[in-house]
C-alpha cells in the first residue's frame, strides 16, 4: 500500500495525472470517511502511488464544518499512509497573495476549537501533542525543492493559516482581526486535520491555493463559483508539484512527527 496520501479540497475530487488503480471503503471507530479512498499511480509511471481522499465527498456534498476529520485521517493511517498533503482553498488576508497562487503555510491559528471533534484522545488516555510547528518540516522542505525543480511558482513558502468554522465566509472585521493577529490566509478545512495527523504520528503538510481575496481585502462580494473556478485552474500546477514532491520524498522519515507521541502522556 502507498505511504503517501492526499486529502483534496474544493475543486479537487480526483487525481489529475494519475490513473485510479483501486478504491478502498474504510470504516473507522470514528465513523465514515468522506468517500472511498482512491489508490492511484502516476500516468507516466514516474514516482510512487498515492492514496487520495476528496475531503468534501466525491460529489462535494459535505460542508467544512461537517467533514469527519477524525475518520478521514484515521482511514489514511489504517491504509498505511505515513505522510499526508492536505490541499485546501484559502482566501488571501495578505493582499500580496493573488488568486491562483500557491502558498505553503508554516503556521496555523485554529478558530474551530470546541466546534469540531478535534482529537483522538478524549477518553482515559491523556495526551498533549507538541504543535509548535504544525506542519512536517521534512515534507515542507521537499515540496519547496519540488517546486523549484518543476518551476511551480510558490508565492510564499511560509504563511499563517487561519481556520474558521464556516460555512459562512467572514466579515470584514473578522478578516482585519485575523490580519492583526498575524494571519496571512484563511480557510475552513486545515484544522483539525493537521493536528489529528500529528496525534497519529503521521506527517502532514498543507498546500494552499489562493482562490480569492478575503472579505474586505477584495472590493466585491465573495462567491463560491469564484473559489471553485480558481481552484480548478490551479489543479494542474498543484498535482505537478505533488507528483514531483512525492518522487523526492525520502523513503525513511527523519522528522519529529514520526515520534510525536513520545513524552506526550501523563
Ligand atoms: N474564507 C474562508 N475560507 C475560504 C475562503 C475565504 O475567503 N476562500 C476559500 N476558502
- pTM for the model stands at 0.97
What is the count of structural domains for the chain?
Answer: 1
Tell me if 266 is assigned to some domain. no
Tell me if 265 is assigned to some domain. no
Query: Residue 210's domain is classified under what CATH number?
Result: 3.40.50.1580
For residue 186 and ligand 1, the question of a CB distance below 6 A is answered with: yes
Mean pLDDT lowest among 8-22, 33-47, 207-221: 8-22
Ligand 1 nearest-atom number relative to CA 170? 1
- Express each pLDDT in 105-116 by its tens digit: 999 999 999 999
- What does the pLDDT average to over 29-43? 96
Tell me if 264 is assigned to some domain. no
For residue 118 and ligand 1, the question of a CB distance below 6 A is answered with: no
| Domain coverage including residue 50 | 4-259
| pLDDT reading at 21 higher than 90 | yes
For residue 99 and ligand 1, the question of a CB distance below 6 A is answered with: no
pLDDT for residue 86: 98
Residue for cell digits 480569492? Answer: 212
Query: Atom 6 (ligand 1): residue with closest C-alpha?
Result: 91
Amino acid at each position: 500500500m502507498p505511504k503517501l496520501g492526499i486529502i483534496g479540497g474544493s475543486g479537487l475530487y480526483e487525481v489529475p495525472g494519475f490513473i485510479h488503480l483501486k478504491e478502498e471503503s474504510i470504516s473507522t471507530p470514528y465513523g465514515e470517511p468522506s468517500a472511498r479512498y482512491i489508490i492511484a499511480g502516476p500516468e507516466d509511471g514516474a514516482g510512487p502511488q498515492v492514496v487520495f481522499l476528496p475531503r468534501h465527498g466525491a460529489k462535494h456534498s459535505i460542508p467544512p464544518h461537517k467533514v469527519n476529520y477524525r475518520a478521514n485521517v484515521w482511514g489514511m493511517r489504517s491504509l498505511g499512509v505515513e505522510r499526508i498533503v492536505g490541499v485546501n482553498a484559502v482566501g488571501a488576508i495578505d493582499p500580496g497573495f493573488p488568486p491562483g497562487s500557491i502558498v505553503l503555510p508554516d503556521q496555523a491559528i485554529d478558530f474551530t476549537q470546541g466546534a469540531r471533534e478535534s482529537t483522538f484522545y478524549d477518553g482515559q488516555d491523556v495526551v498533549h501533542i507538541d504543535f509548535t510547528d504544525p506542519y512536517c518540516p521534512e515534507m515542507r522542505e521537499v515540496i519547496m525543492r519540488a517546486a523549484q525543480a518543476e518551476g511551480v511558482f510558490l508565492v510564499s513558502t511560509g504563511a499563517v493559516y487561519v481556520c474558521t468554522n464556516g460555512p459562512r465566509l467572514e466579515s470584514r472585521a473578522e478578516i482585519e482581526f485575523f490580519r492583526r493577529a498575524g494571519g496571512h490566509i484563511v480557510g475552513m478545512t486545515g484544522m483539525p486535520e493537521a493536528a489529528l495527523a500529528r496525534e497519529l504520528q503521521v506527517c502532514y503538510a498543507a498546500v494552499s491555493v489562493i482562490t480569492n481575496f478575503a472579505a474586505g481585502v477584495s472590493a466585491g462580494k465573495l462567491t463560491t463559483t469564484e473559489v471553485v473556478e480558481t481552484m480548478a485552474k490551479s489543479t494542474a500546477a498543484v498535482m505537478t508539484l505533488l507528483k514531483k514532491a512525492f518522487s523526492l520524498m525520502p523513503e525513511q522519515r527523519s522528522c519529529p512527527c514520526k515520534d510525536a507521541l513520545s513524552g506526550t502522556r501523563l
